[in-house]
Structure 1
Amino acid sequence: MTAKSVKTESDGFTAEERAAMKERAAELRAEGRKGAKKADGLQAVLDRIAQMAPEDRALAERVHVTVTANAPELSPKTWYGMPAYANADGKIVVFFQDAGKFNYRYSTLGFQDAANIDEGDMWPVSYALQKWSPAVEKKVAELVKAAIS
């Protein structure tokens, strides 16, 4: 093998990105199983949250409670190994990416194109989360409600 054929993080996917792609492939296989249920998705989300570092886990737990309380019609499932919540069509509306997932300095609350958060010609689709507070909870609840409206 020559030096040019070796992939590095600068010219290809990082180890974290490759792991996320493998997680997504496993999720797709699980979704294709006959009898896969909403409960399977919920357990996968709870298992993923339990694996997070303590700071990320605390945020993910609060996000999970806020999303499920404000949008009970969304189904929890993992998406690229991240806790996510999908509409009845199975499209991801909102997801939580912990800081440890890709070694970022903050966790992220993100929205996919199935979310109804359009505002003019430009709008945010992800938000950095560092600490949970009543103000953050209120904003997340508002965003989730708008996303499913």
Structure 2
Amino acid sequence: MGKTEDGAYEGFSAEERAAMKDHAQEMRKASRRASKEEKAAEAERDVLAKIAEMPEADRAMAERVHAVVTAAAPALGAKLWYGMPAYALDGKVVCFFQSAEKFKARYATLGFSDLARLDDGAMWPAAFALTEVTAEVEARIAELVKRAVG
């Protein structure tokens, strides 16, 4: 959240406000869909369209992440979540891809919600920085996603 140099709260950043606006639009669009199958197909198209809009570096990674997640965990359904490609189980987000461009970060992120079954002791990673999706990274993503859905 935006703060001034002296720590005073300024409200949400422009990127945060845009993400909230995306989420509200996603919710309105989802509520207008008819059948479960139609909802899933439309959500998949929305995710692919969002990926297609990304800058080349983010798009290439998002395409690979999408392919790996959908192959590794077919039970997860693609959907947009705050303007980001996400993958949900029974409508609840388990993991998501956040492009570097989304929040003007220096790297993209593969994140997991608290629903992901990645628990490992008292502390474990819930987000991973991505600068490139190699074969090794794909294998790690597949392993994490499979574990996340149990």
Distance 1:39 1:20 in 2: 23
Counterpart position of 2:22? 23
Q: Which runs of 5+ in 2 are unaligned?
A: 5-9
TM-score (structure 1 length as normaliser): 0.91
Deviations 1:62-119 (A, max 9, x none): 000000000111110000000000002x110010000000000000000001111111
Cα distance change on mapping 1:61 and 1:34 into 2, 3 Å: closer
Counterpart position of 2:143? 142
Counterpart position of 1:77? 79
Distance 2:32 2:123 in 1: 38
Q: Supply the AA of the counterpart residue of 2:11.
A: G
Once the two structures are aligned, what percentage of the paired residues are identical? 54
Distance 1:73 1:64 in 2: 13
CA RMSD in angstroms comes to 1.2
- 1:123-134 aligned within 5 A: 123-134=124-135
- For residue 78 of structure 1, give the secondary structure of its aligned residue in structure 2: strand
Counterpart position of 2:32? 33
Mean Cα deviation higher: 125-134 or 23-32: 23-32
Distance 2:31 2:121 in 1: 37
- For residue 17 of structure 2, give the secondary structure of its aligned residue in structure 1: helix
Distance 1:34 1:129 in 2: 33
- For residue 31 of structure 1, give the secondary structure of its aligned residue in structure 2: helix
Q: Which runs of 5+ in 1 are unaligned?
A: 1-7
Misfit runs of 4+, over 2 Å: none
Cα offset for 1:31?
2.1
Q: Given the alignment, which residue of 86, 89, 95 partners 1:87?
A: 89
Cα offset for 1:40?
0.9
Counterpart position of 1:115? 116
Distance 1:69 1:34 in 2: 25
Cα distance change on mapping 1:120 and 1:106 into 2, 3 Å: same
Counterpart position of 2:45? 43
Task: Point out the structure with the larger strand share.
Answer: 2
- For residue 139 of structure 2, give the secondary structure of its aligned residue in structure 1: helix
- For residue 41 of structure 2, give the secondary structure of its aligned residue in structure 1: helix
Counterpart position of 1:4? none
Cα offset for 1:127?
0.1
